[in-house]
A and B are shown apart, each in its own frame.
Chain A
Amino acid sequence: MTATPHKTSNASRTAGIPFLLKTAFINAAIALVLFSLMVGIRTEAGSDGQLTYWTRFGDLAALVGAVFGGSIVIELLRQWIGPTGAEKLVPPAVQSGISFIGRYLAPALLIFTLLVPVIFYNQRYILDLAILVLTYVMLGWGLNVVVGLAGLLDLGYVAFYAVGAYSYGLLATSFGWSFWVCLPLAGILAAFWGVLLGFPVLRLRGDYLAIVTLAFGEIIRLVIINWQELTGGPNGVSGIPRPSFFGIPLDNSDDGLAAKLGIEYSPTHRIVFLFYLILALALLTNWVTIRLRRLPIGRAWEALREDEVACRALGINTTTTKLTAFATGAMFGGFAGAFFATRQGFISPESFTFQESALVLAIVVLGGMGSQLGVALAALTMIGGFELFRSLENYRMLVFGMAMVLIMIWRPRGIIGHRAPTVYLTKAQAISSDLVKEGHG
């Protein structure tokens, strides 16, 4: 019995060789057509303005060869590690090892994160990067409620981030309100805008929903740019107060925290404080999301993603269910925005472009829609990895893009694609991503 699966897998692999060569040839042919003009022939304006050209067939041959070899390698990798053969080819020891790692990965990551300021106390760069990663983890977890749980594709999430940031920035600079008063206000205002966005898009699905949310994100940014009296337009809002340790400022003054504690002042104190602040906010987001999933509203979100018609037949008010998903996601975006404003001390519309929405959405999709751990890992990979490749300079985007393609080949439903049930009788079994719907918007 045990030999049978090996035999079949071997057979499929040997049968795959002509297929392998065929795909490689097709890919190489496409590359030849594409590159023959782009690389093979080089044109330039000559000294008298006439067109001169020369051929670079060597480079062309090298490129086509690289594509040929590359597609063989990718196809081999896909057959070995990919989803089709994964069950049979990964030995059981490795599988149990992976599940062991999976079980302890989240607590281990959490403990490591708590210790980051202790370990890297003197490395300002790493602390700043960690704060940035955590901000995106929080944004990812917030958007995960909308996209991952409720299945509503939101391309304008940055709008709520902006609403949160400007709420804090303007309230703090105009009225001098403290961060801790403004934080909940920023969340509430963002949630309010979430509901406002929700109403017009209730009837839209899929692509249409994505386009309207995309437009909403742009509208918020354009309003911020053009409403000069309130927002300062492209000049942004500056002089936003730094956060205080519950009323005690973190500065060099006599009533600063350092002086009160009788320790020597260091600018790192504030960074460490910011680090723990965003960690606390992110963990709050995570805790609330995990709890909401186990409450009727969270189950209704997931049911909505699975089948909206069935939800209506069961008496679930799909309107309020969608709106609460938008509002909850937006609220966390607002919190993150307020944090962003207090960390930077300066905000301008440039920070809230579509690029940010796309990045956060990429984090959610890459992480595995609906998976909290997956989103955290994806944020770490995307933001941290991007910094890691900094030394590669011009090739950074190339390496980054290739990494994304590889992840999408191996794990098309994200790093953690399966779904954990919210309630169980005897044993919680992970549900395969093949069964879980992605939602139709």
Chain B
Amino acid sequence: MSGEPILSVEQLTMRFGGIVAVQELSFAAERKKITALIGPNGAGKTTVFNCITGFYKPSGGAIRLTHDDGRQIALERLNDFRIAKQAKVARTFQNIRLFPGMTALENLMVAQHNALMLASGFTFLGLIGVPTYRDAEKRAIALATDWLKRINLLDRADDAAGNLAYGDQRRLEIARAMCTEPALLCLDEPAAGLNARESAALSELLLSIRNELGTSILLIEHDMSVVMEISDHIVVMDHGVKIAQGTPREVRDDPKVIAAYLGTDEDEAVAVMESGS
């Protein structure tokens, strides 16, 4: 076991032309904890996510992932699919990106592509139907079935993902990311568009992922009820820089955070808080 945080972001900077989307951001995500990245719209949260998951190449800074066995990987040097394949970082998207024309089960099978590819001897052994591949496929189906049970979609396993209800699609996308057996799960606004009941179910699911499987989670979220309920640690961003961090309680009472969310300056926010309390 390594005592290091699973993810440490140091001096991360991302520029698009003249616009600085993220400026010298440093934070860490603890192992087997849920870390939330919050901030008003346009704060640069999704940009940070895209840097971590390899969709953008950062203009500067370091992103270090430390596995349970102490192996360290510099994420800013890996590109696109290798982050998911080698560094074991899985992600979901703000606007759900399932494979709509494939069934829920197939979606979870695609997620296990790399393991199955190896088992099928890069297709050649699978083509002639060797028993080891068949066993691997059975195990993959078992894992997928297990996840369908966890997200309460077992009876919809053979339905097209595009036919599922919105909330179900959100949960399926999380299950799909988990089927890659990640070390770090990155969720981009998992509660967006969910009603109160669905949000509660989502919180439960995320807590069970942390508690039962010990997967570290990094999430961006606007739904404060979800964030405050499940996060162990919160990082607040505004205009590309970190303005606060700490436990949910600390962040909730931080005048800088309230100012950022209300769009006022700090003194006014303090005044608002004092008048309210």
Which A residues lie at the B interface, using CB under 8 A? 288, 291-292, 295-297, 299-300, 302-303, 306-307, 309-318, 324, 419, 421-429, 431-432, 435-437
Contact = CB atoms under 8 A, between A and B. Distances in A.
Interface string B83-96: 11100001101000
B89 to A, nearest CB: 9
A426 B157 contact: yes
Contacts of A302: 99, 101-102
Contacts of A306: 99-102
B113 A424 contact: no
B162 A309 contact: no
A422 B106 contact: yes
A311 B113 CA distance: 10
Contacts of B105: 421, 423-425
Interface stretch (B28-36, B61-69, B119-127, B237-245): B119-127
A421 B110 contact: no
Given A314-B110, A316-B81, A421-B158, A296 B101 contact: no
Contacts of B106: 299, 421-423
A101 B157 CA distance: 27
A296 B118 CA distance: 9
A427 B158 CA distance: 7
Given A314-B113, A315-B180, A435 B100 contact: yes
B113 A300 contact: yes
A356 B90 CA distance: 44
B104 to A, nearest CB: 9
B123 A295 contact: yes
B8 interface: no
B98 to A, nearest CB: 7
B101 A314 contact: no
Given A296-B120, A297-B123, A306-B99, A316 B110 contact: yes
Interface residues of B, number: 46
Contact of A315 (B84, B157, B162): B84
B211 interface: no
Given A310-B93, A314-B176, A435 B158 contact: no
Nearest to A435: B162
Contacts of B82: 315
Q: Which 3 A-B pairs have the closest CB atoms?
A: A315-B84, A436-B101, A315-B85
Given A314-B176, A317-B81, A437-B101, A299 B113 contact: yes
19 contacts: A295-B120, A296-B109, A296-B113, A296-B126, A306-B102, A309-B93, A313-B90, A313-B93, A314-B81, A314-B113, A315-B85, A316-B113, A318-B81, A419-B101, A422-B106, A423-B105, A435-B101, A435-B162, A436-B101
Contacts of A296: 109, 112-113, 116-117, 120, 123, 126
A295 B134 CA distance: 10
B225 interface: no
A431 B163 CA distance: 9
A124 to B, nearest CB: 38
A265 B120 CA distance: 48
Interface in B23-47: none
Contacts of A311: 81, 110
Nearest to B125: A295
A118 to B, nearest CB: 32
Contacts of B158: 421, 424-429
A425 B145 contact: yes
Given A421-B102, A426-B158, A431-B103, A300 B110 contact: yes
A425 B145 CA distance: 8
Interface string B239-273: 00000000000000000000000000000000000
B110 A299 contact: yes
A424 B91 CA distance: 25
A431 B160 contact: yes
B110 A423 contact: no
Contacts of A423: 103, 105-106, 109, 141
Nearest to B126: A295
A334 to B, nearest CB: 18
Contacts of A309: 55, 93, 97
Interface in B175-213: 176-177, 180
Given A296-B117, A423-B106, A312 B81 contact: yes
